[in-house]
Structure 1
C-alpha cells in the first residue's frame, strides 16, 4: 500500500514538474465539472495561440464533440455551438494550421492537452489544426504490453542482423561443434560479438524511458499518439472530469448523446 501511495505522489509531482510556468493556469469549465490546465513553455507557437483563443472566448459554448473512451475527448469546434442533437459536427479550419512542436519530454499521458490534425496523406508536415484541441483519457498499459511495444520494433532489427551475419556461418559452426569444441566456442563468440556490436549501433531501435513506462503503467495514456501530434499542455486538476465525459454514451460519430458542453475556458485569476 505504501508503495502505491508513493507512486501516486511521485506521479502527481511529475505532472506539476513538467508543467512549466511562463503561462497562466487555464480553467476549463464544463457541465460535468471543472479542470485546471497548464501550457508548456517549450511549445510556444501552440501555447500562445491557445492562450489567445482562450482570451477571446473562442471556445466558450462549444462541445466535446468527439469522445472515445480510453482514447481522448476532443472539443472546441466552432460548428458545435448550439448544434442540434444528432448533427455531425467537428469541422476543422486550415487557416489555423500550425507547424508541429514535437517534444520527447511531452507525451500522451492521461490529461495531456494536445492539438488534432488532418491525416498524413493530405498533411505530410503533420501541421496541427489549432482551431480545436483534445485531452487524453487513455488506458493503463501493463508493463508486459510496454515491453512488447519495444520488442515489436527491436526484434526485427536484431533478426535481420542475425540473418546477415550469423546464418552465413551456421554450417561452419555446426561442423566445428561436432569436431572441435574449443574452435566452435571461439568462432561462436566472435560471430555473436559482431551481431551484438552491430545491433548496439543499429539505427531505429526503440526504448521507452523509465519515467514514461511508469506513467503509462499507472495513470495511463495513449502511447500510439506520441510523436504524431503536438502535446502543448496538461490537465493538472480535475482528471475525474475526463473520466465522466469519456464514459458518456455516444452516437456513430462518437458525439455524446447528451452534450458535454465547454461552458467557458478562461485564465485563472491570481
Structure 2
C-alpha cells in the first residue's frame, strides 16, 4: 500500500520537471507583449508615418511636360480672380494686370510667379522703341528652376480681341522648329512702341497690360545694349509677386 501511494506523487513530480524543461527547438516561444488599445493605436500611427515617409521619398517631384501642361493649367485656372502682378526690377517696379479670357497664359504666369521663377531673372533683350523682353538669365539658378518646373510650350491664343498696344505684355514663341508659334512659357515681352506694334497681332498672345509704372518700362527700354540686344548692364527682376 505504501508503494502504491508513492507511485502517483513520483509520477506527478516527473511530469512537473518535464514541463519545466527546454522547449522543442522547432517551436520556439517568444515573450508576448500585452497590447492595449492605446499602444495599438500608437504602433499603427508610427507605421503609417513610416509608410508615408517612404512614399514621399519614392515619389518623383511633379514636372510640367508637353503631355500634361494643358490639363494642368485647365484645372489651375479655375476660379482664379482678376490678377495683378508686381515686378520689382533693379530700375524700379511696375504692375501688370492679366486678362481673364486668356486662361492658359494667365495661369502659367501666375504659377511661375508663385513658384518664384522670375525672381533673379533678367530683362535679357531690349529693342529700342519696340519691346523689352524678360524671364531669362545666364545663371545656373534659372536653369535649375526650369529643370525643376518642367519643359513645355503653350499654344497661341490670339483671337480674344487683344492687340499689341503700348504696354501690352505678351509671350514670345519658342526658338525651336515651331510652325504653330507655340509660346515659350518662361519668357514675356512688353510693347513700348506708341501706339503699339500691331504687326505682332495674330502671331503672339497678349495676356495682360501694364497698369502702373510704364515709366519704368520705358527706362528699361532706354538702357544701352550690345550687338545682340542684351543690356550692357544686367537689369534684374528682383521679385515678382501677386497683388491681392
User: What TM bracket, shorter-length normalisation?
Assistant: 0.5 to 0.7
Shift in Å, 1:103: 2.7
1:248 equivalent to 2:223? Answer yes
* Counterpart for residue 185 of structure 2: 130
Query: Which segments of 5 or more consecutive residues in structure 2 lack a partner in the other structure?
Result: 1-79, 143-148
- Compared CA separation, residues 23 and 80, structure 1 to 2 (3 A): farther
* Counterpart for residue 42 of structure 1: 101
1:107 equivalent to 2:163? Answer yes
* Counterpart for residue 95 of structure 1: 151
Return the index of the structure with the highest Cα Rg. Answer: 2
Structure 2 counterpart SS, 1:135: strand
Distance in 2 separating the partners of 1:81 and 1:223: 35
Check whether the contact 1:59–1:76 (CA below 8 A) recurs between aligned residues: yes
Query: Which segments of 5 or more consecutive residues in structure 1 lack a partner in the other structure?
Result: 1-20, 84-92, 141-219
1:75 equivalent to 2:130? Answer no
1:32 equivalent to 2:91? Answer yes
- Compared CA separation, residues 221 and 265, structure 1 to 2 (3 A): same
* Counterpart for residue 42 of structure 2: none
CA RMSD of aligned residues (A): 2.2
Q: Name the one with the larger helix percent.
A: 1
* Counterpart for residue 174 of structure 1: none
Shift in Å, 1:24: 2.3
Shift in Å, 1:81: 6.6
Check whether the contact 2:169–2:191 (CA below 8 A) recurs between aligned residues: yes
Higher relative contact order, chain-length normalized (CA < 8 Å, sep 6+) = 1
TM superposition outliers: structure 1 runs of 4+ over 6 Å: none
TM-score normalised by length of structure 2: 0.61
1:116-170: per-residue Cα shift (whole Å, max 9, x none)? 1136x921111100111111111x3xxxxxxxxxxxxxxxxxxxxxxxxxxxxxx
1:80-122: per-residue Cα shift (whole Å, max 9, x none)? 5789xxxxxxxxx992310111135211111111111136x92
1:57 equivalent to 2:116? Answer yes
Shift in Å, 1:79: 3.3
- Compared CA separation, residues 253 and 26, structure 1 to 2 (3 A): same
Distance in 1 separating the partners of 2:140 and 2:221: 20
